């Protein structure tokens, strides 16, 4: 039987990302990070949920009132879920489930730099990794309306023209038809042709970071 229990505190202002938190836990227990996964118990519903990215890490921290109940588990180990309301019921024990905590999620998209961008812009990271799945969107050129010190101006722009059903972009829900493309992996597209922007996206297709002005803004 291999178990260790600890109660500790950490500064939420210093530990702000999943990676930082995961490193803290691994150092504290002197574990090798590739062999373990994190999970927590939702205090409201009692669900046992994974912590494996910034989004669900933030969700987990928000539930800590004041305690966050963590479980550090070796990959591949099983978690036995019992019906806590029928601990003395023999039938309940026989029907208990054995499930493995989902651990091999591959992150395919995220919103980045939300705290530094204007509210009218969105920076989306699409990660294909080794997948053959296409990015799943087309772009077109068009006219963008800009408000300048000289008034309203019409300038050339690049827009998303179509999302492929089942493609990476459509499955994330973060991009939409007529979103205006402003940057590709940190490079502004202003002044570039449609072919040039297409080449930029193809070159960065394994790990594309695209800044857009959503059509509904």
**Domains in the chain and their CATH numbers?**
18-100 (3.10.20.90), 109-213 (2.30.42.10)
How far apart, in whole angstroms, are the C-alpha atoms of residue 174 and residue 148? 28
E strand spans, 88-206: 97-100, 109-112, 122-127, 137-148, 151-163, 180-184, 187-188
What's the DSSP call for residue 66?
S
Lowest mean pLDDT among 100-114, 131-145, 171-185, 192-206: 100-114
Bridge partners for 18 per DSSP: none
| pLDDT per residue as tens digits for the range 2-21 | 566 777 788 878 888 888 88
DSSP state of 78: E
Provide the mean pLDDT of the chain: 80
CA–CA dist 102, 87 (Å, integer): 26
> Alpha-carbon distance 177 to 48, whole Å?
37
Q: What is the 3-state secondary structure (H, E, C) of 142-176?
A: EEEEEEECCEEEEEEEEEEEEECCCCHHHHHCCCC
Confidence of residue 77 (pLDDT cuts 50, 70, 90): low
Query: pTM for the full model?
Result: 0.52
pLDDT > 60? residue 82: no
Give 159-214 pLDDT, tens digit per residue.
999 999 888 888 888 999 999 999 999 999 999 999 999 999 999 988 899 999 99
Least confident of 54-68, 74-88, 119-133, 143-157: 74-88
CA-to-CA distance for 46 and 146, rounded, in angstroms? 50
């Amino acid at each position: 039987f291999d178990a260790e229990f600890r109660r500790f505190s950490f500064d939420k202002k210093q530990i702000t990302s999943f990676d930082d938190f995961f490193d803290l836990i691994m150092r504290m227990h002197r574990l090798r990070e590739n062999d373990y996964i994190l999970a927590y118990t939702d205090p409201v519903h009692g669900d046992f949920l994974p912590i494996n990215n910034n989004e669900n890490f933030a969700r987990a921290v928000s539930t800590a009132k004041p305690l966050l109940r963590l479980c550090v588990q070796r990959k591949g180990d099983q978690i036995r879920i019992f019906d806590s309301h029928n601990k003395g019921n023999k039938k309940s024990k026989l029907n208990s489930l054995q499930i493995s905590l989902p651990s091999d999620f591959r992150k395919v998209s995220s919103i980045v730099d939300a705290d530094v961008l204007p509210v009218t812009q969105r920076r989306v990271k699409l990660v294909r990794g080794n997948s053959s799945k296409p990015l799943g969107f087309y772009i077109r050129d068009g006219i963008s309306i800009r408000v300048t010190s000289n008034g309203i101006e019409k300038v050339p722009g690049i827009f998303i023209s179509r999302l492929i059903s089942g493609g990476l972009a459509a499955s994330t829900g973060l991009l939409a038809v007529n979103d205006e493309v402003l940057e590709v992996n940190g490079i502004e597209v202003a002044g570039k042709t449609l072919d040039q922007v297409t080449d930029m996206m193809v070159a960065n297709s394994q790990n594309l970071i695209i800044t857009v002005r959503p059509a509904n803004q």
